């Protein structure tokens, strides 16, 4: 099937007008979904606040009036968020230290530094002992994707890429909007889980739909462009969060458009390869004729008749991998690299709103760092090889995180610290992109999708842990970045255990996959 279909796609134009149009539509949906995937960074954002002092604060209180140090204990030149000194004398001014005692008490009302609004206010998630509840939102989101990716993969193989791509985004949008009306924090988590689970498979479905519609020489480029939607989604989410700075409008602006993706049913064709795999030859031929018409090409009936159904069960089942020690070790290493990539990538993404500058701008700038990383990945992976690119990216991420811990977290040094931080995000993104490439090239064709799905699911362990890892700042502020450094270094060494696959033909059988790195003479070189 692959050879005849690929030859037809080459004849029709590997990336013609039709493919570009469909790619644009798919990328739009993937961008909207990517924005929804990171929206929790802003909806569950921690805020700057202090205890309200009813005896002293006015109707429109200042965040740090001159008398504040008399009423509230300070730490690192910042007022305590949840404790205040007990009042010892009745007063209207609070200007004297003697008006307060040395005993502290917990307060129940607060004054906020800015007009920002997150679920912290809605569900009263104030104070250090509730920080884990804010972090749990991100963990729940990624836990849902852990299950959702696997389920979406099964449903995609059964019902089609198009169906899962569109319905996943639509139901993600619906659950996201419904979340703004729920009365309790628990119900908020329930719908956070549901919207992430529904949308989990949309990105991979969009990725597959994009690369399956173009010729073989353009798959890496198109796959890379589809992956750039993650960066675009980050810019989209950060931009609207900066405009509204309130969690409900942020959700409406990000999740509302996802509901409209239902219209894609009348625009996007089903994957040609999926139709062929299900014996739907006529539907596959109809799509190819449409491609030829829009691209201004001709396609003969003889060429179409060469297409064959591949709806018979593959002899290479998922469990065949476990009969080879080489492939099992390779799969384990891939899973570890995926977990590390997700941990570093999402950890740096979430932490970007806690830097010394504008939280929204810092988030958007670190998202922008992903663009050059993707193109650097394409160049370096073909220039110096896959495993050296991956290992170098991991090491550079670790070095950047370590260097960042030595830069003072003050406004005066923010530009320098942000540059180092963006370098870390750049290299973490490059590692993620290279891991995609390596995973897709190390396993045989019949098992390639299932292996990528398995590794991607395990990768969610890293993204689930990332929000909780940031709580380590309560022990020691640089500790999360020290953990990032250690993980990056460990993965850098593990990446060197992969065989080099530069200029090696993609393996079509388990035997060819096992022989990679052992006897390259048994694996055909790329022409």
478: left (phi over 0), alpha (psi -120 to 50) or beta: alpha
75 pLDDT exceeds 70?
yes
Q: How many helices (H) and strands (E) does the chain have?
A: 23, 6
Length of the chain: 527
- Residue 339 is predicted with a pLDDT of 94
Count of alpha carbons within 13 Å of 419, Cβ hemisphere only?
A: 4
pLDDT tens-digit profile of 300-324?
A: 777 777 776 544 444 455 677 777 8
Where are the chain's structural domains?
Answer: 1-46+124-312, 49-113, 314-527
Strands 74-75 and 78-79: antiparallel
- Residue 525 is predicted with a pLDDT of 46
> Are the C-beta atoms of 261 and 173 separated by less than 8 Å?
yes
- Residue 218 is predicted with a pLDDT of 72
Highest-pLDDT range among 197-201, 332-336, 520-524: 332-336
- Kindly state the helix (H) or strand (E) to which residue 394 belongs, with its residue range: helix 386-404
- Residue 505 is predicted with a pLDDT of 67
Calpha distance 18→447 (Å, rounded): 29
Q: How far is CA 484 from CA 342, 379, 460, in A?
A: 11, 26, 16
Q: Which CATH number fits domain 314-527: 3.40.50.970, 3.50.50.60, 3.40.50.800, 1.20.1250.20?
A: 1.20.1250.20
Q: Do the first three CATH levels of 1-46+124-312 and 314-527 match, i.e. the same topology?
A: yes
List, in sequence order, every residue forming a beta bridge with 79; answer none if it has no partner: 74
Phi, then psi, of 63 in degrees rounded to 5:
-75, -40
CA terminus-to-terminus distance, the chain: 20
Q: What average pLDDT score do residues 25-46 get?
A: 92
Q: Among the residues of 160-228, which ranges form H helices?
A: 161-178, 185-199, 202-212, 219-227
> Fold for domain 1-46+124-312?
Growth Hormone; Chain: A; (1.20.1250)
Q: pTM to 2 decimals?
A: 0.81
Calpha distance 205→221 (Å, rounded): 17
Q: What angle do CA 239, 147, 272 make, to 5 degrees?
A: 80
Calpha distance 85→73 (Å, rounded): 7
520 pLDDT exceeds 70?
no
Calpha distance 61→4 (Å, rounded): 73
- Residue 522 is predicted with a pLDDT of 42
Highest-pLDDT range among 46-60, 215-229, 290-304: 46-60
């Amino acid at each position: 099937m692959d050879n005849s279909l690929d030859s037809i796609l080459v004849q029709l134009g590997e990336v013609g007008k039709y493919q570009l149009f469909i790619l644009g539509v798919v990328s739009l949906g993937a961008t909207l979904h990517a924005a929804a995937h990171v929206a929790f960074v802003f909806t569950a954002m921690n805020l700057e606040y202090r205890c309200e002092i009813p005896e002293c604060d006015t109707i429109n209180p200042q965040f740090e009036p001159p008398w504040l140090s008399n009423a509230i204990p300070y730490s690192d030149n910042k007022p305590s968020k949840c404790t205040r000194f007990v009042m010892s004398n009745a007063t209207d001014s609070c200007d004297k230290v003697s008006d307060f005692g040395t005993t502290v008490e917990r307060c129940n009302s607060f004054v906020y530094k800015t007009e920002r609004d997150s679920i912290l206010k809605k569900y009263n998630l104030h104070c250090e002992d509730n920080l884990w509840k804010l972090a749990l939102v991100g963990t729940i989101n990624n836990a849902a994707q852990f299950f959702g990716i696997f389920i979406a993969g099964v449903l995609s193989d059964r019902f089609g890429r198009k169906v899962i791509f569109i319905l996943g985004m639509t139901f993600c949008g619906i659950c996201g909007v419904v979340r703004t009306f729920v009365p309790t924090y628990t119900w908020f988590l329930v719908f956070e889980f549901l919207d992430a689970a529904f949308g989990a498979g949309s990105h991979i479905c969009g990725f597959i739909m994009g690369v399956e519609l173009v010729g073989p020489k353009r798959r890496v480029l198109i796959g890379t462009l589809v992956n750039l939607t993650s960066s675009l989604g980050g810019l989209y989410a950060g931009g609207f969060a900066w405009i509204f700075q309130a969690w409900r409008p942020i959700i409406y602006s990000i999740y509302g458009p996802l509901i409209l993706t239902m219209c894609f049913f009348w625009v996007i064709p089903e994957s040609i390869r999926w139709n062929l795999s299900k014996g739907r030859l006529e539907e596959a031929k109809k799509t190819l004729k449409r491609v030829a018409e829009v691209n201004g090409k001709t396609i003969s009936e003889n060429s179409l008749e060469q297409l064959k159904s591949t709806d018979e069960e593959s002899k290479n089942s998922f469990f065949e991998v476990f009969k080879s020690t080489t492939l099992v070790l390779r799969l384990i290493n891939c899973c570890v690299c995926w977990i590390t990539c997700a941990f570093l990538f999402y950890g740096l993404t979430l932490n970007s709103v806690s830097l010394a500058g504008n939280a929204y701008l810092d988030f958007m700038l670190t998202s922008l760092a992903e663009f050059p990383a993707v193109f650097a990945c394409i160049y370096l992976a073909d220039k110096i090889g896959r495993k050296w690119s991956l290992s170098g990216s991991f090491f550079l991420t670790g070095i950047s995180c370590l260097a960042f811990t030595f830069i003072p977290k003050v406004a005066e040094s923010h530009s320098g610290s942000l540059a180092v931080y963006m370098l870390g995000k750049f290299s973490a993104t490059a590692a993620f992109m290279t891991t995609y490439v390596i995973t897709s090239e190390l396993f045989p064709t019949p098992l390639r999708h299932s292996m990528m799905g398995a590794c991607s699911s395990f990768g969610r362990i890293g993204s689930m842990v990332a929000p909780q890892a940031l709580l380590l700042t309560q022990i020691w502020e640089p500790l999360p970045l020290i953990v990032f450094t250690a993980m990056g270094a460990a993965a850098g060494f593990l990446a060197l255990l992969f065989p080099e696959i530069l200029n090696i033909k993609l393996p079509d059988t388990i035997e060819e996959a096992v022989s990679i790195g052992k006897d390259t003479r048994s694996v055909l070189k790329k022409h």
